Chain A
Amino acid sequence: MPPGPKTRITDFSHHDVSFARDPFNTINRLLEEEPVAWSTKHDGFWVVNRFDDVTAAFRDYKTFSSQKGAAIPVLNLGGEYHIPVAMDPPEHAKYRKVLNPWFTAEAIAQREPEIREFIRGVIKPLADKGEWDFVPDVANVVPGSIILGIIGFGAERRAEFLERMELAMSNQAATDPETLAQIQRDKQWIDDEILALMRARREKPENDLMSVLANDPLGTGEELSDKQMLGMGMLLVLAGFHTTSAAFAAMMVHLAKHPDQRDWLIEDFSRIPAAIEEIIRVYSPATAEARYITQDVELGGETLGAGDMVLLNIAAANKDPRKFENPLEVDFKRDNRRAISFGWGVHRCLGQHLAKAMLRIEIETVLEFMPNYIVDLDRVKVSDAMGIGFVHDAVPARLEK
């Protein structure tokens, strides 16, 4: 619905290059001058920025519905059908319960030895070589391989999948027909892979997540339709690849710039989990989530109308000075129990325990095999597309010879 006469109007879009190039000042402006505002981009949407407003919206899933997907504009890799992020309770819980047991902290702890071995196999050769780029050589290798292993595709297929996702993920607001056509071809390739694996596991189940999803996962006596399978499969693949990569790269750059904090972690590895929470609070791997307004609602002095889309700005809420003192300061001792880096409410990130385990082991392994790594800060490239998350395109690094 068009905003009222007194509504604050903004030209903010999370997908704009201007946001990617100056995220912290942009967030500060949103928090202080446009806490709830109507953006004229992407056919119009509300952007909600302050911590209390964002968490209140996440909590009220009846008014702030997920039925139109979790992104603005709709995620270009089938976002409107993603299961369970494009669903509300109680439907959401049925599917989430199928996935939950695979991603609890307990389940992930059992996988830890194999994850650690895999990560060593990635990082140690780089230390031996003496020169590498943390983004393509580590950040983009580990999470994708692990999630493909859990689903059942096999870790070795990582590069093929990544190649098909890169264009789409960095062009979420694309309108150019050629780009859209290529994204469509990439999506088709991933869809075909998901359905092929589903059929293979219906034929002969194995010990992987796809074997559960392919064979009556809800216990209703019915198999998932192809569309449902793609909704779950695509979401798992996408979520598994990108956010953890972004967090790892941000950590490597931060530690390169702050040797005192690096030393503090090297002194005691048990400090790493809290450091991860702090890095993902400041360098949000997931920028924001979208909701659809089902009934008129007041928020931050504005009236959001039924039928409107709203962007809940996680990156901003996590840097709201009303909630976090000196919000831009990276303080590894900060109490981050209330940070919403993984979202908030029923949709809170399914893979958070896996992500935290991978990041912790990656960082431990780096600090073990290459504790004095040097990042070539002049050649570090921050992405121009941050609508999905705070992404580095390049983090070249080396060891002193």
Chain B
Amino acid sequence: MKPGIHRGLCESNAVCVALAPAVFDLDENGIAVPIVGDLDAEQEELTRMAIDGCPRAAVFIEDE
């Protein structure tokens, strides 16, 4: 399972960074970026919360 961000949608609300700081960070433009390649179980749960919490629905999980 890979976390992802639709860069075209992200508006720097940083809800994902707050909820899952080990999974997402902000790049130099304030846009969220994934910082891990593969999610463990706990990170997956936090990422699913971020999916629910993102005001732009910019967060996703990719099945490999």
Residues of A in contact with B (beta carbons under 8 Å apart): 55, 58-59, 89-90, 93, 96, 100, 103-106, 337-338, 344-346, 348, 350, 352-353
Nearest CB on A from B2, distance (A) = 22
When C-beta atoms are compared, the residue in chain B nearest to A94 turns out to be B52
Q: Are B21 and A93 in contact (CB under 8 A)?
A: no
Q: Are B52 and A89 in contact (CB under 8 A)?
A: yes
Nearest CB on B from A210, distance (A) = 20
With A337-B26, A353-B11 as known contacts, state yes or no: A93 contacts B52, CB within 8 Å: yes
Q: Does B49 have its Cβ within 8 Å of any Cβ on chain A? A: yes
Q: Are A93 and B53 in contact (CB under 8 A)?
A: yes
Q: Are B30 and A58 in contact (CB under 8 A)?
A: no
Nearest CB on B from A151, distance (A) = 18
Residues on B with beta carbons closer than 8 Å to the beta carbon of A350: 55
Residues on A with beta carbons closer than 8 Å to the beta carbon of B11: 104-106, 353
Q: Are B18 and A89 in contact (CB under 8 A)?
A: no
Tell me the residues in window 26-54 of chain B with beta carbons closer than 8 Å to chain A beta carbons: 26, 30, 49, 52-53
Q: Are B18 and A348 in contact (CB under 8 A)?
A: yes
B interface bracket (residues with beta carbon within 8 Å of A): 10 to 19
Q: Are A59 and B55 in contact (CB under 8 A)?
A: no
With A59-B21, A89-B49 as known contacts, state yes or no: A345 contacts B15, CB within 8 Å: yes
Q: Are B19 and A346 in contact (CB under 8 A)?
A: yes
Nearest CB on B from A272, distance (A) = 16
Which listed residue, A90, A104, A348, touches B56 by the CB 8 Å rule?
A: A104
When C-beta atoms are compared, the residue in chain B nearest to A90 turns out to be B52
Q: Are B52 and A100 in contact (CB under 8 A)?
A: no
Residues on B with beta carbons closer than 8 Å to the beta carbon of A90: 52
Q: Are A55 and B18 in contact (CB under 8 A)?
A: yes
Q: Are B53 and A346 in contact (CB under 8 A)?
A: yes
Which listed residue, B13, B21, B26, B52, touches A348 by the CB 8 Å rule?
A: B13
Q: List 29 A-B contacts (CB under 8 A).
A: A55-B18, A58-B18, A59-B21, A89-B49, A89-B53, A90-B52, A93-B52, A96-B55, A100-B56, A103-B55, A104-B11, A104-B55, A105-B11, A106-B11, A337-B26, A337-B30, A338-B26, A345-B15, A345-B18, A345-B19, A346-B15, A346-B19, A346-B49, A346-B53, A348-B13, A348-B14, A348-B15, A348-B18, A350-B55
Residues on B with beta carbons closer than 8 Å to the beta carbon of A103: 55
| Alpha-carbon gap, A96 to B54, bound state (A) | 10
Residues on B with beta carbons closer than 8 Å to the beta carbon of A58: 18
When C-beta atoms are compared, the residue in chain B nearest to A344 turns out to be B18
Contacts A105-B11, A348-B13 aside, 19 further interface pairs with beta carbons under 8 A come to A58-B18, A59-B19, A89-B49, A89-B53, A93-B52, A96-B55, A103-B55, A104-B11, A106-B11, A337-B12, A344-B14, A345-B18, A345-B53, A346-B18, A346-B53, A348-B15, A348-B18, A352-B13, A353-B11
Residues on B with beta carbons closer than 8 Å to the beta carbon of A93: 52-53
When C-beta atoms are compared, the residue in chain A nearest to B30 turns out to be A337
Tell me the residues in window 5-20 of chain B with beta carbons closer than 8 Å to chain A beta carbons: 11-15, 18-19
Nearest CB on A from B14, distance (A) = 7
Residues on A with beta carbons closer than 8 Å to the beta carbon of B12: 337
| Alpha-carbon gap, A93 to B50, bound state (A) | 11
| Alpha-carbon gap, A237 to B30, bound state (A) | 29
| Alpha-carbon gap, A346 to B14, bound state (A) | 9
When C-beta atoms are compared, the residue in chain B nearest to A343 turns out to be B18
| Alpha-carbon gap, A276 to B26, bound state (A) | 19
Residues on A with beta carbons closer than 8 Å to the beta carbon of B56: 100, 104
